[in-house]
């Protein structure tokens, strides 16, 4: 590992990085720690009361001894009341600071996700990002609200007890603490391999969580094909049973490593009684250790081990917390789409791709893409599956940045536009509509408080969605299920169009918006799309070529390259690939359920390949 890597690892996993989260609330955490430390010191008050009572009874006459007990008991009760007050104050300060810190952190993480390229997000499973937002941040709440205070108390109590023992009798202090270094050494030796297993545990746990989510989401397919949990491995995907077995194996290894270590620690640290009793008893019988002092040292020796157990437990939890915070920092340090300050705006609604190129993980997806969309025009993007059509559209809405060339809106490179201005220019109606677990009203206006309910209803009417919304149990106040589970595909699309109408952007991108519609829904969708795209610059990704024959221009993509560009009639005449796509669509319109002879299937495939080659 390089020095730079080591520095990064230390910065991510160090206690200082966790404490740096406090920011302006650091003083609250400091005071919380002080209050907890003082509260732990006051927990010694009952032991001091016992010592003073024994001292009073041993060295004072009976009549005066009883009278002298009341002040001692009174001071003891006062100490316990003060301890309660300090503990409550420390807990309140720590919890308020923790909730505020994590509130800011969750908002920061959510804002960061908004600014990173889509490629960074799609390269990770939804569950792994959910784990960061939920589990890893929740563990930080435990650290800030509980572990900091408890650690301050667990450090202070043994330290004060040790000082008191040395002050009272240095011999008793030595025999009380003699097992502590040995216990720490035993734990360090036995726990040496634990960090490696913990890293493996975190990896397997994340993969298992992702696979479980995939299993639940795909349960309909699994039931249809009677697969049960025996999901076959494909590529980098490991079957659920294998992941469960891997999780079981790593847990067993962790138990084998940690249980002996923890057991050895508890046995050794608690063995100080084997030293305190015989040595203390011997010195008492010798007369060099008074009985009341022997009892006090015995009680202090018993009490000194409990906070040491807590410290050891916190040490094991810190590994999980630090690993989780490392993942949070990885997210917060992810590359962002560059933003610029200012108020630069496009001159018009035209769009131009200038020798644009893009690659996923060094695999070229688009190469030397060049064409222009005039303001107010309709441009259709067609081509075989995998040609790069959706990626092209997503470069326009700046889900990613081009790696070569440029994408211009109104003569301005989108990378030179402030993100807020750029996003205001484009509305994206996706093929797979995402709806939030919220009301219909909020799904359409998408959190914009400046959009009134009347404007939302007007947009829904224009999008042919008002009728089915009105039939919902609470109309526009109906809470949709997860991802809009209560709605059909066509209804979701119409809500997506209503959302785009509310945005009222001058450029519209339609990614096969009618792909999942039945004929009735499609007619309504086409009417809604007509309203949405009126007087707009439109890019439409189409698989049904019959819907775009009147487009101002049709761009034909194949293998990430523009192989032809023109109107429908011109492309039918000049581009074999477009002609083949048109013919295949027409053939599919009269398709019936039958099996073509093998030689016909091979001939059809061969014709399509030759057509694609001739377009190049």
Cα separations (Å) of 78 from 15, 69, 381, 412?
36, 14, 81, 74
**pLDDT, average across residues 118-147:** 72
**pLDDT, average across residues 94-100:** 85
CB 537 within 8 A of CB 351: yes
**Is residue 264 over pLDDT 50?**
yes
Which stretch, 10-19, 48-57, 161-170, 254-263, has highest mean pLDDT? Answer: 161-170
What are residue 363's DSSP bridge partners?
Answer: 360
**pLDDT, average across residues 342-363:** 82
What tokens appear for 160 in the block?
A: 């004060």
What tokens appear for 288 in the block?
A: 């060099």
| 482 — pLDDT class (breaks 50, 70, 90) | low
3-state secondary structure of 584: helix
CB 126 within 8 A of CB 213: yes
Residue 587's Cβ-side half-sphere holds a number of Cα atoms within 13 Å equal to: 8
What are residue 556's DSSP bridge partners?
Answer: 382, 564
CB 298 within 8 A of CB 144: no
The owner of tokens 């929740």 is 138
What tokens appear for 502 in the block?
A: 């509310």
CB 502 within 8 A of CB 450: no
**Is residue 594 over pLDDT 70?**
no
- pLDDT for the residue numbered 297: 84
pLDDT tens digits, 385-402 = 888 888 888 888 888 888
CB 500 within 8 A of CB 508: yes
The owner of tokens 């599956």 is 385
Residue 215's Cβ-side half-sphere holds a number of Cα atoms within 13 Å equal to: 20
Please provide the average confidence, as pLDDT, over all residues in the chain: 77
Query: What distance in Å separates the CA atoms of residue 550 and residue 380, rounded to the nearest whole number?
Result: 10
Cα separations (Å) of 240 from 111, 227, 422?
33, 11, 43
Query: What distance in Å separates the CA atoms of residue 451 and residue 460, rounded to the nearest whole number?
Result: 13
Query: What distance in Å separates the CA atoms of residue 199 and residue 250, rounded to the nearest whole number?
Result: 10
Q: What percent of the chain has pLDDT over 90?
A: 1
CB 502 within 8 A of CB 445: yes
Dihedral, CA of residue 242, residue 248, residue 252 and residue 254, to nearest 10: 100
Task: State residue 209 phi and psi, 5-degree precision.
Answer: -60, -40
3-state secondary structure of 168: helix
Taking residue 456's Cβ as centre, other Cβ atoms within 10 Å add up to: 24
- pLDDT for the residue numbered 6: 38
**Is residue 286 over pLDDT 80?**
yes
Query: What distance in Å separates the CA atoms of residue 202 and residue 5, rounded to the nearest whole number?
Result: 20
pLDDT tens digits, 557-590 = 888 888 888 888 888 888 888 888 888 877 665 5
DSSP string across 515-532: TT--HHHHHHHHHHHHHH
Measured at the CA of 567, the angle between CA 431 and CA 556, to 5 degrees, comes to 50
**Is residue 10 over pLDDT 50?**
no
- Length reported for the chain: 616
Exposure class string for 174-184: b at 16+ Cβ within 10 A, else e = ebbbebbeebb
- pLDDT for the residue numbered 230: 52
Residue 255: in which H helix or E strand, if any? helix 240-269
**Least confident residue range of 53-62, 99-108, 282-291:** 53-62
| More confident site: 185 or 88 | 88
- DSSP 8-state assignment for residue 20: G
Residue 508: in which H helix or E strand, if any? strand 507-511
3-state secondary structure of 436: coil
**pLDDT, average across residues 227-252:** 66
Query: What distance in Å separates the CA atoms of residue 99 and residue 94, rounded to the nearest whole number?
Result: 9
**pLDDT, average across residues 435-461:** 82
- pLDDT for the residue numbered 223: 62
Cα dihedral 67, 68, 69, 72 sign = positive
**Is residue 372 over pLDDT 70?**
yes
Listed in sequence order, the DSSP H helices in 60-169 are 62-115, 118-122, 126-131, 137-142, 148-168
pLDDT tens digits, 80-90 = 889 899 889 98
User: Which residues have a Cβ under 8 Å from the Cβ of 125 and sit 6 or more positions away?
Assistant: 206, 210, 213
Query: What distance in Å separates the CA atoms of residue 305 and residue 313, rounded to the nearest whole number?
Result: 13
**Least confident residue range of 16-20, 289-293, 579-583:** 16-20
**Is residue 243 over pLDDT 50?**
yes
Query: What distance in Å separates the CA atoms of residue 410 and residue 349, rounded to the nearest whole number?
Result: 5
CB 346 within 8 A of CB 336: no
**Is residue 605 over pLDDT 50?**
no
Look at the pTM and tell me if it is higher than 0.85: no
Among 308, 416, 407, 295, residue whose Cα is nearest residue 358:
407
| 124 — pLDDT class (breaks 50, 70, 90) | low
CB 392 within 8 A of CB 314: no
CB 132 within 8 A of CB 109: yes
- pLDDT for the residue numbered 12: 46
- pLDDT for the residue numbered 340: 76
**Is residue 239 over pLDDT 60?**
yes
Query: What distance in Å separates the CA atoms of residue 428 and residue 85, rounded to the nearest whole number?
Result: 57
- pLDDT for the residue numbered 85: 92
Among 162, 142, 159, 164, residue whose Cα is nearest residue 37:
159
| 14 — pLDDT class (breaks 50, 70, 90) | low
**Is residue 303 over pLDDT 60?**
yes
3-state secondary structure of 562: strand
**Is residue 71 over pLDDT 60?**
yes
**Is residue 604 over pLDDT 50?**
no
Among 402, 341, 347, 343, residue whose Cα is nearest residue 374:
347
**Is residue 597 over pLDDT 60?**
no
Which stretch, 3-7, 229-233, 277-281, 586-590, has highest mean pLDDT? Answer: 277-281
What tokens appear for 225 in the block?
A: 């094909």
Strand bridging mode 378-382 / 351-360: unpaired
């Amino acid at each position: 590992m390089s020095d730079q890597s080591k520095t990064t690892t230390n910065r991510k996993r160090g206690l200082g990085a966790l404490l740096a989260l406090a920011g302006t609330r650091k003083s609250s955490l400091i005071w919380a720690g002080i209050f907890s430390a003082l509260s732990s010191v006051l927990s010694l008050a009952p032991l001091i009361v016992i010592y003073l009572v024994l001292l009073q009874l041993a060295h004072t006459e009976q009549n005066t001894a009883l009278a002298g007990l009341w002040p001692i008991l009174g001071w003891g009760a006062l100490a316990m009341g003060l301890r309660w007050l300090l503990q409550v104050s420390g807990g309140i300060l720590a919890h308020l600071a923790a909730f505020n810190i994590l509130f800011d952190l969750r908002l920061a993480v959510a804002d960061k996700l908004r600014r990173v390229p889509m490629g960074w997000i799609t390269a990770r499973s939804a569950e792994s990002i959910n784990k960061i937002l939920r589990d890893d941040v929740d563990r930080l709440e435990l650290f800030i609200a509980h572990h900091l205070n408890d650690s301050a108390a667990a450090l202070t109590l043994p330290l004060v007890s040790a000082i008191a023992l040395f002050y009272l009798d240095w011999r008793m202090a030595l025999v009380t603490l003699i097992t502590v270094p040995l216990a720490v050494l035993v734990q360090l030796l036995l726990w040496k391999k634990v960090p490696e297993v913990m890293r493996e545990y975190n990896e397997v746990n994340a993969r298992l969580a992702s696979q479980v989510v995939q299993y639940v989401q795909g349960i309909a397919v699994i039931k249809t094909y009677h697969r049960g949990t025996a999901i076959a491995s494909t590529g980098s995907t490991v079957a659920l049973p294998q992941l469960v077995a891997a999780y079981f194996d790593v847990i067993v290894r962790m138990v084998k490593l940690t249980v002996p270590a923890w057991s050895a620690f508890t046995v050794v640290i608690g063995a100080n009684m084997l030293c305190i009793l015989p040595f203390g008893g011997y010195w008492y019988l010798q007369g060099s250790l008074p009985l009341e002092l022997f009892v006090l040292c015995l009680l202090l020796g018993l009490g000194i081990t409990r906070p040491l157990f807590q410290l050891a437990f916190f040490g094991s939890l810190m590994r999980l917390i630090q690993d989780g915070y490392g993942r949070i920092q990885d997210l917060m340090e992810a590359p962002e789409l560059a933003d610029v300050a200012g108020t630069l705006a496009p001159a018009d609604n035209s769009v131009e791709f200038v020798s644009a190129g893009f690659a996923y993980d060094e695999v070229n997806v688009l190469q030397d893409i060049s064409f222009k969309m005039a303001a107010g025009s309709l441009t259709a993007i067609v081509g075989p599956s995998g040609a790069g059509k959706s990626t092209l559209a997503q470069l326009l809405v700046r889900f990613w940045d081009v790696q070569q060339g440029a994408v211009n809106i109104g003569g301005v490179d989108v990378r030179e536009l402030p993100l807020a201005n750029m996003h205001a220019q484009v509305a994206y109606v996706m093929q797979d509509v995402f709806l939030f677990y919220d009301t219909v009203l909020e799904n359409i206006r998408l959190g914009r408080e400046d959009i009134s309910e009347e404007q939302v209803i007007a947009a829904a009417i224009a999008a042919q969605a008002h009728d089915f919304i009105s039939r919902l149990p609470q109309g526009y106040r109906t809470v949709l299920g997860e991802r809009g589970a209560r709605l059909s595909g066509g209804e979701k699309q119409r809500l997506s169009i209503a959302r785009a109408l509310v945005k009222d952007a001058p450029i519209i991108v339609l990614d096969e918006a009618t792909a999942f519609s039945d004929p009735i829904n499609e007619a309504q969708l086409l009417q809604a799309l007509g309203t949405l795209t009126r007087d707009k610059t439109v890019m439409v990704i189409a698989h049904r070529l019959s819907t775009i024959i009147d487009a101002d221009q049709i761009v034909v993509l194949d293998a990430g390259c523009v192989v032809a560009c023109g109107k429908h009639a011109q492309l039918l005449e000049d581009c074999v690939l477009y002609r083949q796509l048109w013919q295949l669509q027409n053939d599919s319109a009269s398709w019936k359920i039958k099996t073509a002879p093998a030689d016909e299937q091979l001939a059809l495939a061969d014709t399509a390949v030759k057509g694609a080659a001739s377009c190049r």
